[in-house]
Amino acid sequence: MLGWLSKMRATRSVWRDESTGSVHVFGYQDLLHVLSNHTIFGSDFGDLTPSPPPDVPNFMEGVLTMTDPPRHGKLRKLVSQAFTPRSVAQLEPRIRQLTKELFDNVADQSEFDLVTAVTYPLPVIVIAEMLGIPSSDHALFRDWGEALLSNNYELPAGTVPDAPAITDSTAEKLRQMHAYLMEHIRDRRLRHREDLIGRLVAAEVDGDRLTDTEVVSFLNFLLLAGHLTTTLLMGNTLLCFEEAPEAMAEVRADRTLVEGTIEEVLRYRPPVVFGYRLTKSATSLGGVDIPPKTPVVMWLLSGNHDERQFDHADRFDIHRSPNPHLTFGHGIHFCLGAPLARLESRIVLNELLDRYAEVACGEPVFYEHSPEIYGAKSLPLTVRRA
Ligand code: HEM
């Protein structure tokens, strides 16, 4: 994919795909323009988002990433009350403890799947504990997450070719997920609890509260965005080291480099490859005239590899500074979970380096059917203890 993106960037920063009518943005500065101008490039896809069949819950109502101001500002204020950077920082000791426990489970093995053993369960347990739902249900969340990813019904029509229809088993999983989350919301409405669901249910801005539908949508989004992306980020760190083994040796020797390493992994191998906008009015970008209601595909991966923005952009360089990658977005929709994803990834990398003197990756299995996802769903490691 990087080769194609590089070719596109070399010939044009913005391209209109005549077969779908969508506009694709590849250049860093043009991506920044789109992300910064939410009055022209909106996030509410309205009629363009195919609704799921009537008997399948719609998790897209009130999702922050698909909402425009002024509603977005209000929703974001409501959920940020429950999701502050301070509350994330307080999680650090618990994340360290969980990470140690997960690595302990495979302490006697010289070969294991990093995703199954550590990087899948960790973020999902953390998010489940934040929400106040039993983390022992994490197998269910994975099943539901994969069901959501597999059908793509929430993606704007025409932007992903051949988006599959919802199968009966996917529909059943989505109904189960909805019922599960509703049960927890009802419970918090009956008796308040100091967990994330409790705080979301109680949060208030200008006398407004979130409806059940909005809370369900947000919880669904958190369960998916809050764990899958972070799982991918941690696996991507190892995949970057496979390409640049000297970088791993350097971080091992100097742990002050961990922070910059994670930022460079975020730039070099972003877990989310692209995002969407829909033009609210006619505009022009990179010499391309764009009519209103045009889906715009923002190639974040491409922006992160734009040679006009990053020197030696195709080199994995843990000393890169500044590193203004676009992996968490930019502007009003900037990722709320960025501090959590960064924290978890740093803790896992430190623990891995503490435990093992040597780490080698086997053959990863990638998410081939989800074009927006960049990373491994399985990553076998061979390790030698320190
Ligand atoms: C928004 C990426 C982890 C919660 C976003 C956006 C991106 C992104 C690109 C902006 C979408 C847009 O502009 O349309 C990532 C990546 C992650 C990650 C790469 C991990 C490496 C998390 C985590 C959480 C989270 C751990 C929560 C637990 C959110 C929320 C938004 C968001 C709530 C919506 C913000 C808004 O629209 O105002 N994320 N994310 N993310 N992310 Fe993340």
Q: What are phi and psi of 126, to 5 degrees?
A: -60, -45
371 lines ligand 1 (CB under 6 A): no
Question: Does the beta carbon of 341 lie inside 6 Å of ligand 1?
Answer: yes
* Residue range 134-169, pLDDT digits in tens: 888 877 887 887 777 765 444 444 454 445 567 788
242 close to 359: Cβ distance less than 8 angstroms: no
Gap from CA of 109 to ligand 1 centroid (Å): 34
Tell how far the Cα of 111 is from the centroid of ligand 1, in angstroms.
32
Q: What is the ipTM of this complex?
A: 0.99
Q: State the pLDDT at residue 47.
A: 67
**Mutation test of ligand 1: which of 34, 263, 272, 335 has the most ligand atoms closer than 8 Å to its C-beta?**
335
* Predicted confidence (pLDDT) per residue in 321-330, tens digit: 999 999 999 9
The answer on pLDDT for 61 being more than 50 is yes
64 lines ligand 1 (CB under 6 A): yes
Classified as helix, coil or strand, 361 is strand
- The answer, yes or no, to whether any atom of ligand 1 lies below 6 A from the CB of 236, is no
- The whole-angstrom separation of Cα 91 and Cα 89 is 5
Q: How far is CA 27 from CA 13, 158, 201, in A?
A: 5, 22, 41
Q: Does the pTM of the predicted model rise above 0.80?
A: yes
Strand, helix or coil for residue 378: strand
Ligand 1 center–CA 328 separation, angstroms = 6
